């Protein structure tokens, strides 16, 4: 599998939270050859089911999981949406009533966690009746009322310019249309990849690696890969897909902060030092141990990242669906999060995928009993 090429396809396809249609179709084509069935649920989540290929479970196990005669089910969740922008209003300039002559400009708001300091000068695509290329502009600094200001532009100063007159803009663009960033994926030295939406297409790629890994392995559990929607705004796909799928175990995949210039030593992780497994509030200790076991079997180094409350990932939503789901978290270290130059080490993605594949293959008929007993204590 050419991971750089896959990442290129995944990151360069738009998928703002709430408008995941394009990335979903792209991903469907990638997952279809690797799964028994690929479906889309009513929240727009893409689900690829790879059925267990070894029926080793005993009839007694049915009562424990409540899932009839089917094998237990593992949900691997990675969100496919990305931070983006939205048209808040359409302005015209000059605004002197002469609609024919006026240029049309789009006023902006955020979709997900946008750091407004990164916006000025970015190339974008406006998803109107048809896609329009645009740029984010503003008055040059020296023309601002406070010329000496070194403050970043806020949303009120920024516009998207698509080059059209106001009249033409209104024919193609509506208030509420999505705007995505346009940034080709770059290969940096040392097998680093840099671009937009690596949060969380890097994880989507890792899930793809896991599905690929399972092609050659026997696994007792059904594995359901889900690419979730609207994580960046409210973890919507995680909450709803976990409720609908009712998996026996779930693992979320996301990116986490990598070390880089200015970061402190503690709690962050080097690029290219392998995947990170989450520990703490959103993570079931039995699932964490099983992930560590899988890493050991692969002789793969993993780092542990503690989360005291909210991991900021789909794990937060998966964990409390239904009666509660034993949940794990695997993360890929990433620099410059929520910018257009997010940077990862490609090998970390490969390793995270292989770890998940091995984890899935090692789940057997007794795993749920074991972790239940562990929780009961003495």
Partner 1 sequence: MNIELVKQLVEGYGPSGFEDHMRDIIRPFIEDYADEISVDTMGNLIARKEGDGSGLKVMVAAHMDEIGVMVTHITEKGFLRFTNIGGVFPVTLAGNRVQFADGTMGVVYSEKRESRTEVHGLDKHYIDVGATGRDDCPVSVGDAAGFYRSFRAQDDFLVAKSMDDRIGCVVAIEALQRLESTPHDVYFVFSVQEEVGTRGAEAAANGLEPDVGIAIDVTTTGDTPEAATMAVELRAGPAIKVRDAGMIAHTGLVRLMRRRAEEAGIPYQLEVLEGGSTDARSIQIAGPGAAAGVISIPTRYVHTVSETVDSGDVENSIKLLVEVLSKPIEL
Residues identified as active-site: 231
Interaction residues for partner 1, span 160-219 (CB under 8 A): 174-176
Give the separation between CA 344 and CA 328, rounded to whole angstroms.
Answer: 21
* Interaction of residue 95 with partner 1, rule CB under 8 A: no
Which one among 92, 240, 311, 319 touches partner 1, defined by CB under 8 A?
240
Contacts 24+ apart (CB under 8 A), 260-266: 260/335, 260/336
Least Å distance between CB 175 and partner 1? 4
* Interaction of residue 87 with partner 1, rule CB under 8 A: yes
Decide if 339 contacts 115 (C-beta within 8 A). yes
C-alpha closest to that of 347 among 273, 291, 276? 273
Which one among 53, 67, 168, 243 touches partner 1, defined by CB under 8 A?
243
Least Å distance between CB 109 and partner 1? 6
Decide if 335 contacts 31 (C-beta within 8 A). no
Segment near partner 1 (CB under 8 A), from 28-36, 82-90, 212-220, 279-287?
82-90
Decide if 371 contacts 364 (C-beta within 8 A). no
Residues 19-58, mask of contacts with partner 1 (x by CB under 8 A): x-x-------------------xxx---------------
* Interaction of residue 139 with partner 1, rule CB under 8 A: no
Burial of 33 (0-12, 13-18, 19+ CB in 10 A): exposed
Helix spans in 108-223 (H): 166-172, 198-215
* Interaction of residue 107 with partner 1, rule CB under 8 A: yes
The smaller minimum CB distance to partner 1, of residues 109 and 263, is found at 109
Give the separation between CA 3 and CA 192, rounded to whole angstroms.
Answer: 11
Which one among 153, 213, 239, 316 touches partner 1, defined by CB under 8 A?
239
Say which residues have a Cβ less than 8 Å from residue 261's Cβ, sequence separation at least 6: none
Interface positions with partner 1 (CB under 8 A): 17-19, 21, 41-43, 86-90, 107, 109, 111, 156, 174-176, 230, 233-234, 236, 239-240, 243-244
């Amino acid at each position: 599998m050419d991971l750089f090429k896959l990442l290129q396809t995944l990151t360069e396809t738009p998928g703002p939270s709430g408008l995941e249609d394009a990335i979903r179709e792209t991903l469907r084509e990638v997952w279809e050859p690797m799964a028994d069935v690929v479906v889309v649920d009513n929240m727009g989540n893409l689900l690829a089911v790879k059925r267990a290929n070894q029926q080793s479970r005993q009839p007694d196990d049915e009562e424990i999981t409540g899932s009839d005669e089917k094998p237990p089910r593992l949900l691997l969740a990675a969100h496919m949406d990305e931070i983006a922008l939205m048209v808040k209003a359409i302005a015209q300039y000059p605004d002197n009533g002469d609609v024919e002559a006026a240029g049309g400009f789009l006023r902006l708001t955020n979709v997900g966690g946008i750091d407004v300091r990164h916006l000025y000068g970015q190339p974008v695509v406006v998803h109107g009746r048809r896609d329009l290329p645009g740029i984010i502009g503003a008055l040059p600094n020296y023309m601002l009322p406070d010329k000496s200001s070194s403050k970043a532009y806020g949303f009120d100063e920024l516009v998207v310019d698509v080059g059209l007159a106001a009249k033409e803009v209104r024919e193609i663009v509506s208030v509420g249309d999505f705007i995505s960033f346009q940034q080709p994926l770059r290969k940096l030295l040392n097998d680093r990849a840099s671009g937009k939406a690596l949060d969380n297409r890097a994880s989507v790629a890792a899930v793809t690696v896991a599905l690929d890994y399972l092609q050659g392995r026997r696994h007792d559990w059904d594995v359901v890969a889900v690419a979730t929607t609207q994580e960046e705004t409210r973890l919507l796909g995680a909450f709803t897909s976990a409720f609908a799928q009712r998996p026996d175990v779930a693992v979320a995949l996301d990116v986490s902060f990598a070390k880089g210039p200015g970061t402190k030593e503690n709690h962050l992780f080097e690029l290219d030092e392998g995947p990170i497994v989450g520990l703490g509030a959103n993570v079931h200790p039995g699932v964490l141990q099983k992930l560590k076991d899988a890493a050991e079997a692969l002789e793969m180094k993993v780092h542990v990242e503690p989360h005291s409350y909210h991991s900021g990932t789909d794990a937060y939503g998966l964990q409390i669906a239904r009666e509660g789901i034993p949940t794990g978290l695997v993360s890929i270290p990433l620099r410059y999060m929520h910018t257009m130059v997010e940077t990862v080490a490609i090998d970390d993605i490969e390793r995270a995928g292989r770890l998940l594949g091995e984890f899935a293959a090692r789940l057997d008929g007794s795993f749920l009993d074991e972790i239940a007993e562990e929780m009961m204590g003495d």
